[in-house]
Structure 1
Amino acid sequence: MSKCVLIVDDEEDVRAIAQMGLEMSASWNVISASSGQEALILAANNQPDVILLDMMMPDMDGRATLQQLKGNPVTRHIPVIIVTAKVQQLDQESFAKLDIAAVFVKPFRPLKLADQISAVLGSMDVE
């Protein structure tokens, strides 16, 4: 079954590369947002299977966006995968407190992205 993925990243080229990888390797439906605020609206309206969320964004960063997503009953159930280039700065304990499915490190391999997301979602189904 084709999945719907919401990609949230303020960098257009990152969104384009991720979208191309997911569409080419898995024929998934991809929607994208360039800001946290846009992501909240798209997530509520489209109910994607998973959200790829960039941590470093202007205005509303990934953490603030995640808190809003998890605070909304309409979007709370959607698995969120954090995408970041600065993994060494991330405090694993603070991430454990956040309700996230996984952390992917940039740069990611676009054609492997669908497999990585499927693996994360598959492991969640088992629990």
Structure 2
Amino acid sequence: MSKQILIADDNSEIREIVKILLESEDYKVIEAVDGQDAIDKVNEETDLIILDMMMPNKSGLKACLEIREKTSAPILFLTAKTQDSDKQLAFSSGSDDFLSKPFSYTELVARVKALLRRYYVYRARRRRKKRTK
């Protein structure tokens, strides 16, 4: 079963590039055009979320905070913001990783795979520990 990834970016070209990259790795990709759209589309089937920080209607930072109330799925910020203070804001809002635009395609795919691997390996370990107690 392929993992479902939500990409939220107001730039349609970025969404298309990311979609092509991830679908070539057999991921199912759902697109959102802004932060509110991302919040509305996140559900229990969402395995990973990729957010831009600067989006209309609701910023990626605000969306991240609200998404964290719905899911513990990994969140990766993919953004043109590059300052250390931007990274601090991203992590303090609940994200798990940060990648600056312009980005390396291979690095994006590698980070997605690493985030998903850690999320599912750690979740499986927690479940096993609960059962053995």
Instruction: Specify if TM > 0.5.
Output: yes
Checking the alignment, whether the CA contact within 8 Å between 2:2 and 2:26 is kept in structure 1 is yes
Other structure's SS at 2:46 match: coil
Distance of aligned partners of 1:92 and 1:110 in 2 relative to their CA distance in 1, 3 Å threshold: closer
User: Which is greater in Rg?
Assistant: 2
- Bigger relative contact order (CA 8 A; separation at least 6): 1
| 2:28 counterpart residue number | 29
**1:30-49 Cα distance to aligned partner (Å, 9 max, x none):** 010001111111103x6310
| 2:114 counterpart residue number | 119
| 1:64 counterpart residue number | 62
State the Cα distance separating 1:126 from its structure 2 match.
4.4
Distance of aligned partners of 1:93 and 1:108 in 2 relative to their CA distance in 1, 3 Å threshold: closer
State the Cα distance separating 1:59 from its structure 2 match.
2.1
- Superposed, which structure 2 residues align to 1:1-127 within 5 Å? 1-24=1-24, 26-44=25-43, 47-71=45-69, 75-88=70-83, 90-124=85-119, 125-126=121-122
Two-structure CA RMSD over aligned residues (Å): 2.1
TM-score, normalised relative to structure 2 = 0.79
Partners of 1:87 and 1:31 in 2: how far apart? 26
State the Cα distance separating 1:123 from its structure 2 match.
3.5
Unaligned runs of 5+ in 1: none
| 2:126 counterpart residue number | none
TM-score, normalised relative to structure 1 = 0.82
Aligned length in residues: 122
Partners of 2:89 and 2:108 in 1: how far apart? 25
Poorly superposed stretches of 4+, deviation over 6 Å: none
